[in-house]
Homo-oligomer: A and B are copies of this chain.
Amino acid sequence: MNPLDDKKEMSRRDMLVNGGKIAAATAIATMGVLQAVKKSDAYENSGAASYKYVKLNPQDVAQSTYENYFKRWCTSSVIAGFAENLQKKGAAGWNNFPIDAYRWAHGGFAGWGALCGTMPGAGIIIGLVTKDTDVAEAMTNDLAFYYSYTELPNFTPAQVLKAPIKHMTIAGTPVCHISVGKWMRAEGAAFLSNERQERCARLAANVAAEATTMLNAYMDGAYKPKNKPLYNVLANGITSQNNCSDCHGQNPPAPMQTYDSLDK
């Protein structure tokens, strides 16, 4: 399975997301590019032999994640949400799983505000239980689209543990600093406030639930990627998001289209 082999028409959603870049994306989706990407083919994942997944209730995983957030922060709370529920169901590999070994990914890497830590938390579970790397690539890509273009957090906890909050926001990006900054501005809450912690706990719960839904579908043989993996790289000529103007204003750099060196 290599999703880049699929050269179907882009979906209407792709077009909405990427606006004026369609022409550029089409121009660069040449055989040369596809071959270059294919040089790094999917690997079978040896972890899937050790870490078993069984279908879980997304709401249960979300609630466990929410409760864990206040002692473990974003990444490890998502991992704990899965590990606790997989343990309860007797799935192999999750007893004594080193949940807190990944805590450093919180706050966009030790608080540096880069990648929101909820997604690598889910990615670690996805990567360990799926059988080849292209499936994990597609699921994490779908997760980034979900995170970036959904009004979040919309998870409702069984009981509010930290503080009531009023706002949901659309991040437009998987980047922690931008995502939490937009929410802080909407809510009028500081980073080191109970409200912000509540928001990130609920957001972690949403990401955990979304990943659970994908993995449940995968167990049924019914998981289909909603979005084309590596689409952003092909569309923009660089690893990227689709909120170019947030940083670049109205004049983002044009994609570099000199791929001659691929033939070397």
Contacts and interface: CB of A to CB of B under 8 A. Distances in A.
Interface of A: 33, 36-37, 39-40, 43-48, 50, 70-73, 96-105, 107-116, 119-120, 123-124, 126-128, 133, 136-137, 139-141, 144, 163, 173-177, 180-181, 184, 189-195, 229-230, 232-233, 237-241, 246-247, 253, 256-259, 261-262, 264
A12 B107 CA distance: 25
A137 B104 contact: yes
A195 B261 contact: yes
A97 to B, nearest CB: 8
Instruction: Please give the count of copies of this chain that the complex contains.
Output: 2
Contacts of A191: 233, 237-239, 256
A112 B177 contact: no
A100 B133 contact: yes
A102 to B, nearest CB: 5
A163 B101 contact: no
Contact of A113 (B46, B103, B229, B232): B232
B37 A192 contact: yes
B194 A233 contact: no
A86 to B, nearest CB: 16
A192 B113 contact: no
A232 to B, nearest CB: 6
Nearest to A123: B104
A107 B140 CA distance: 12
B144 A113 contact: no
